[in-house]
Structure 1
Amino acid sequence: MELLRKWLGHPEDIYHLLRFKMGGYRVVMPRMDPDSLGLGLRTCYRYLNQTSRSFAAVIQALDGELRHAVCIFYLVLRALDTIEDDMTISLDVKVPMLIEFHSYLYQPEWKYMESKEKHRQVLEDFPTISMEFRNLAKVYQDVISDICHKMGVGMAEFLEKKVDSQSEWDRYCHYVAGLVGIGLSRLFSASELEDPIVGQDTELANSMGLFLQKTNIIRDYLEDQLEGREFWPREVWSRYTKKLSDLTKPENIDMAVQCLNELITNALRHVPDVLTYLSRLKNQSVFNFCAIPQVMAIATLAACYNNKQVFRGVVKIRKGQAVTLMMDATNMQSVKAIMYQYVEEIYQKIPSTDPSSNKTQQIIASIRAMSLPSGPMASRHHYSPIYLSCAMLLAALSWQYLSTISKATEEYVQAGEN
């Protein structure tokens, strides 16, 4: 019944869930024919689907040869990330592996059979991935190898180093996500589906990655604490508590929320760059690929802002809300309207006593100036009384059916992934 109550409170979710289930997903996630691929590529796409809940579908929706390049790029970085995450590998082995990992792309027999991580298959069958990498056009190979090298060096740097200053937070996020944004942008331009400026403007591409990574780090505070990881910058949290873990204590909840709000304000400063970047994209499949994670991120930050639940459990956007965002974020006007909606939601929740309130208001003002909606999208969430009544009746009749919506769809619409 809890699910039913949620839907009654958000009847628009019913419409979009049904629309998505009844074929709307093909707009943003058209299916690829696996029979058209060779054995190696089929194996790579199988690994992609096994290792990524959020990205597999949109990667497979990309146009032309770009699809294969991004698939291989993802798997190469997944293999690199698996090495970094594996705590059973000693540092004297791990550090050289991370730094030299890009060279393994050109070693047909290289593989690693001793990982204990859940995605170890990408290391155990790395010869298949590296073979398909070498089958890519050289322009794609050069991008993937270069980003892999830079990311490996950055990961090695932060293995025994905690994130202290806000500039180090930016640097860490650059290594693990900003470089991904830069690499993807270079692949977009290399495919000629996008103009050269998309791949050349590394500052905007970096911001695309930083916005997503910071959102994940902010949202995942409690999960990271439980697993012994710390990614919030000391420069910020030390103003509110002596130890980052102390933010979970009930007596510290007010300070914890103020720290949370400051970090969300920091993340929001990337939104103007995100909007500028998206406005340059011309290819529909590339636009969908880039825009969907960004609108998921702004919705997640709006849910987390000034929310004590971040320190008590998991804060997620609703599945129906996520599907609505996926269906709407297919053009620039809609994306601007979505950004405007969620920064307004944050603005309405800013406490007058919050230490970051002035900064939060300032960055929201700059986002408003870039995303002020116009035309029909300005009222994208206004529904007539007749529509609401019908939707509520539909919710009462179909809540049990919708609760059985396919597992693949539910996994995809999770709001982001580390």
Structure 2
Amino acid sequence: MAFIDWVLHPTELWAAFWYVMRHAPPDEKTPKLQVSGDMKRCYDFLEMTSRSFAAVIQELHPKLRDAICLFYLILRGLDTIEDDMTIPGAKKRSLLENFHEIIYQDGWTFKESGPDEKDALLLVDFDVVIAEFKRLPTGYQVIIADITKNMGFGMAKYTRARVESLEDYNEYCHYVAGLVGHGLSRLFSESGLEDKSVGEKLALANSMGLFLQKTNITRDINEDVLDGRCFWPKAIWSKFADTEDTLISKPNRDKSMNALNEMCTNALAHIPDVMEYLDQINEPTVFKFCAIPQTMAIATIALCFNNPKVLDTNVKIRKGEALKLISQSNNLDSVRRVFYRYLERIEAKNDPKDPMYGQVRKIVDKAKKDIANSLKGGAPVDHTAAYFAVALVIFAALVFFYQNSAAWI
């Protein structure tokens, strides 16, 4: 099956080839990441908790690399506590609300995570993260501690509150992801690599986080409901299902698809802010760090839109597709073309019978028009048909060679 995927998507195979070449084991011409001691252990934790983020963080400018690695690990520790359903409510809220002080406590560790928490080891050895955090420049520490405080209080609130209204939904996503955008933007400015204004336009930074978080929440509905929780706002799902469990039930599938498409539409509304945010980023490694998750998100939303499989399982974009997106996230024009391509896919899947048809069409048309107007040469041309034809020729040639190889030997 993987072989067929590569044949049917030759540009992804090419992207995978260059990714492997670029990330091959380093030789004398490719210097290794220069870290040692406890900071090396922090990068090991980074690899353990997120392979995808680990790669882009390690490619960041040296002025930012360690700070963002530690920022990620601190928030991952906070998130691990929030996700752990075995921690009693009162204790969990106390940990979340005080985590911004805990990160200054020498030697603090946590060994009470549930047996199914995949990142529990990070908390077991969290004293290593604390030690390195306290070595950061004070400006970085202040930003990270401030975001951790606000996020912890927000998470604590939603251990008791439920996501009912669209306002709740936006607030919850702000606490768990929008604040990450705030923190990163402030760190970019603090480093001097980006203009001071980047750390001040926090509404745009918030939208960057919300687009990612809403994409994940939309995709993860089956897994979340089976785990006994749901982050889809009741204001959306209650129009199409009596209970959260009904959302993923087969008999309710047609109605639940309407809810799914409304969730996708809600996420798509953030695209103008995403484009505006990326337009202000100048440092190449910072741009790529910001752009890669956004291109992954638009690809995921396009995959989820009008796709009943989302209600049955956790759908993911192909590995080759992800590698291609990484290679296309180097500059703003390329990112705009990626968004345009996936907006066209959403447009093709938009069903006139769906209640969100008109809203989706409005959002997609405007986003495509804005992108086309900002691109040199106008709207991108879709070469999918040509690539597919080439792939068929290659595949036919391989089959012919295989069938006739014995005669040639």
Provide TM-score, normalisation by structure 2.
Answer: 0.90
- Distance in 2 (alpha carbons) for counterparts of 1:224 and 1:32: 42
Residues 384 and 172 (structure 1), Cα distance of their counterparts in 2 relative to 1, 3 Å cut: closer
- CA shift, 1:31, in A, is 7.6
- Distance in 2 (alpha carbons) for counterparts of 1:78 and 1:39: 21
Q: Give the residue type in structure 2 aligned to 1:334.
A: S
1:9 aligns to 2:8 (yes or no): yes
Q: Deviations over 1:299-352 (max 9, x none)?
A: 111111111111122322111111111111111101111111111111111111
Q: Is the 8 A contact 1:14 1:391 kept in 2?
A: no
SS of equivalent residue, structure 1 residue 378: coil
Number of residue pairs matched by the alignment: 393
Q: Give the residue type in structure 2 aligned to 1:54.
A: S
Q: Deviations over 1:233-290 (max 9, x none)?
A: 0000101111121122222111111111111110000010000000111011011111
- CA shift, 1:77, in A, is 0.7
Q: Give the residue type in structure 2 aligned to 1:172.
A: Y
Q: Deviations over 1:42-75 (max 9, x none)?
A: 1111111111122011111100120000000011
Q: Give the residue type in structure 1 aligned to 2:53.
A: F
The 5 Å alignment of 1:63-74 reads 63-74=61-72
SS of equivalent residue, structure 1 residue 152: helix
Q: Give the residue type in structure 1 aligned to 2:16.
A: L
Identify the residue that residue 219 of structure 1 maps to in structure 2.
219
1:86 aligns to 2:84 (yes or no): yes
Q: Is the 8 A contact 2:9 2:388 kept in 1?
A: no
Q: Deviations over 1:78-125 (max 9, x none)?
A: 111122122222122111111111011222132222223332222222
Residues 211 and 394 (structure 1), Cα distance of their counterparts in 2 relative to 1, 3 Å cut: farther
- CA shift, 1:386, in A, is 8.2
- CA shift, 1:384, in A, is 6.5
Q: Is the 8 A contact 1:12 1:391 kept in 2?
A: no
Residues 396 and 188 (structure 1), Cα distance of their counterparts in 2 relative to 1, 3 Å cut: farther
The 5 Å alignment of 1:314-333 reads 314-333=314-333
Identify the residue that residue 379 of structure 1 maps to in structure 2.
381
Residues 63 and 352 (structure 1), Cα distance of their counterparts in 2 relative to 1, 3 Å cut: same
Identify the residue that residue 310 of structure 1 maps to in structure 2.
310
- CA shift, 1:131, in A, is 1.2
SS of equivalent residue, structure 1 residue 115: coil
SS of equivalent residue, structure 2 residue 52: coil
SS of equivalent residue, structure 1 residue 149: helix
Identify the residue that residue 108 of structure 1 maps to in structure 2.
106
Residues 362 and 296 (structure 1), Cα distance of their counterparts in 2 relative to 1, 3 Å cut: same
- Distance in 2 (alpha carbons) for counterparts of 1:31 and 1:166: 49
- CA shift, 1:396, in A, is 6.4
- Distance in 1 (alpha carbons) for counterparts of 2:31 and 2:400: 34
Residues 180 and 393 (structure 1), Cα distance of their counterparts in 2 relative to 1, 3 Å cut: farther
Deviates more, 1:275-284 or 1:348-357: 348-357
- Distance in 2 (alpha carbons) for counterparts of 1:397 and 1:16: 26
- CA shift, 1:19, in A, is 2.4
SS of equivalent residue, structure 2 residue 103: helix
Q: Is the 8 A contact 2:340 2:380 kept in 1?
A: no
- Distance in 2 (alpha carbons) for counterparts of 1:381 and 1:341: 10
Q: Give the residue type in structure 2 aligned to 1:219.
A: R
Q: Give the residue type in structure 1 aligned to 2:51.
A: R
Unaligned runs of 5+ in 2: 402-409
The 5 Å alignment of 1:50-199 reads 50-116=48-114, 117-199=117-199
Aligned residues: CA RMSD:
2.3
SS of equivalent residue, structure 1 residue 240: coil
Q: Is the 8 A contact 1:11 1:391 kept in 2?
A: no
1:281 aligns to 2:256 (yes or no): no
> Which of the pair has the greater relative contact order for Cα pairs under 8 Å at 6+ separation?
1
- Distance in 1 (alpha carbons) for counterparts of 2:161 and 2:53: 29
- Distance in 1 (alpha carbons) for counterparts of 2:199 and 2:400: 49
SS of equivalent residue, structure 2 residue 134: helix
- Distance in 2 (alpha carbons) for counterparts of 1:385 and 1:301: 23
- Distance in 1 (alpha carbons) for counterparts of 2:311 and 2:286: 35
- Distance in 2 (alpha carbons) for counterparts of 1:127 and 1:386: 56
Q: Is the 8 A contact 2:13 2:320 kept in 1?
A: yes
Q: Is the 8 A contact 1:334 1:377 kept in 2?
A: no
Q: Is the 8 A contact 1:268 1:363 kept in 2?
A: yes
- Distance in 2 (alpha carbons) for counterparts of 1:273 and 1:5: 37
Identify the residue that residue 21 of structure 1 maps to in structure 2.
20
Identity %: 43
- Distance in 2 (alpha carbons) for counterparts of 1:97 and 1:249: 36
Identify the residue that residue 48 of structure 1 maps to in structure 2.
46
Provide TM-score, normalisation by structure 1.
Answer: 0.88
- Distance in 1 (alpha carbons) for counterparts of 2:158 and 2:387: 53
SS of equivalent residue, structure 2 residue 51: coil
Identify the residue that residue 242 of structure 2 maps to in structure 1.
242
Residues 385 and 146 (structure 1), Cα distance of their counterparts in 2 relative to 1, 3 Å cut: closer
Unaligned runs of 5+ in 1: 399-418
